Amino acid sequence: MWPLLITSFTLCLAPSYQQFPRLCATREALRTKECCPPWDGDGSACGASSGRGFCQDVQVPDFPDGPQYPFSGLDDRERWPLVFYNRTCQCAGNFMGFNCADCKFGYFGVNCNERRESLRRNIFHLSRAERLRFISYLNLAKHTVSADYVVATGTYREMENGSTPLFANISVYDVFVWMHYYVSRNALLGGPGNVWTDVDFAHWAPAFLPWHRVYLLHWEHEIRKLTGDMSFIIPYWDWRDASGCDVCTDELMGGRSPLSPNLLSPGSVFSSWRVLCSQAEEYNEQGVLCDAREEGPLLRNPGNHNRNIVERLPTSAEVEFALSLPNYDTGAMDRSANMSFRNTMEGFGDPQTGLGNSPRMGMHAALHVFMNGSMSSVQGSANDPIFLLHHAFVDSIYEQWLRRHRPSLSQYPQSNAPVGHNSEYHMVPFLPLHRNREYFISSKDLGYEYSYLLDAGEFPQNGNVLLIAVKFTEHFNVTL
CA separation for the pair 460, 458 (Å, rounded): 6
Q: Which of 14-23, 91-100, 317-326, 453-462 has the lowest mean pLDDT?
A: 453-462
The pLDDT score that the predictor gives to residue 106 is: 97
CA separation for the pair 346, 235 (Å, rounded): 20
* 293, pLDDT greater than 70: yes
- Indicate whether 119 belongs to any domain: yes
Helix residue ranges, H only, 13-171: 27-32, 128-142
The pLDDT score that the predictor gives to residue 118 is: 97
- Indicate whether 69 belongs to any domain: yes
* CATH number of the domain enclosing 358: 1.10.1280.10
- Indicate whether 353 belongs to any domain: yes
Domain around 440: 20-450
- Indicate whether 456 belongs to any domain: no
pLDDT by residue (tens digit) across 169-193?
999 999 999 999 999 999 999 999 9
Long-range contacts of 170-173 (CB under 8 A, 24+ apart): 170/145, 170/146, 170/292, 171/141, 171/142, 171/143, 171/144, 171/145, 171/146, 172/14, 172/16, 172/141, 172/142, 172/144, 172/145, 172/146, 172/222, 172/223, 172/226, 173/138, 173/141, 173/142, 173/144
The pLDDT score that the predictor gives to residue 7 is: 34
Q: Specify the pTM.
A: 0.92
Give the three-state DSSP class for 222: helix
* 153, pLDDT greater than 80: yes
* 388, pLDDT greater than 50: yes
pLDDT band of 15, cuts 50, 70, 90 = very low
* Strand (E) or helix (H) holding 275: strand 274-275
Give the whole-number percent of the chain exceeding pLDDT 70. Answer: 91
The pLDDT score that the predictor gives to residue 262 is: 97
Give the three-state DSSP class for 435: strand
State how beta strands 95-96 and 195-196 pair.
unpaired
Name the residue with higher pLDDT: 11 or 303: 303
CA atoms within 13 A on the CB side of 371: 31
The average confidence (pLDDT) of the chain is: 91
* 16, pLDDT greater than 50: no
CA atoms within 13 A on the CB side of 174: 27
* 425, pLDDT greater than 90: yes
The pLDDT score that the predictor gives to residue 148 is: 82
Strands (E), 348-426: none
- Indicate whether 463 belongs to any domain: no
The pLDDT score that the predictor gives to residue 147 is: 83
The pLDDT score that the predictor gives to residue 455 is: 63
pLDDT by residue (tens digit) across 88-140?
999 999 999 999 999 999 999 999 999 999 999 999 999 999 999 999 999 99
- Indicate whether 136 belongs to any domain: yes
Count of structural domains within the chain = 1
* 387, pLDDT greater than 90: yes
- Indicate whether 166 belongs to any domain: yes
Read off the pLDDT of each residue in 229-243 and give the average, rounded to a whole number: 97
* 276, pLDDT greater than 60: yes
- Indicate whether 305 belongs to any domain: yes
The pLDDT score that the predictor gives to residue 403 is: 97
The pLDDT score that the predictor gives to residue 19 is: 67
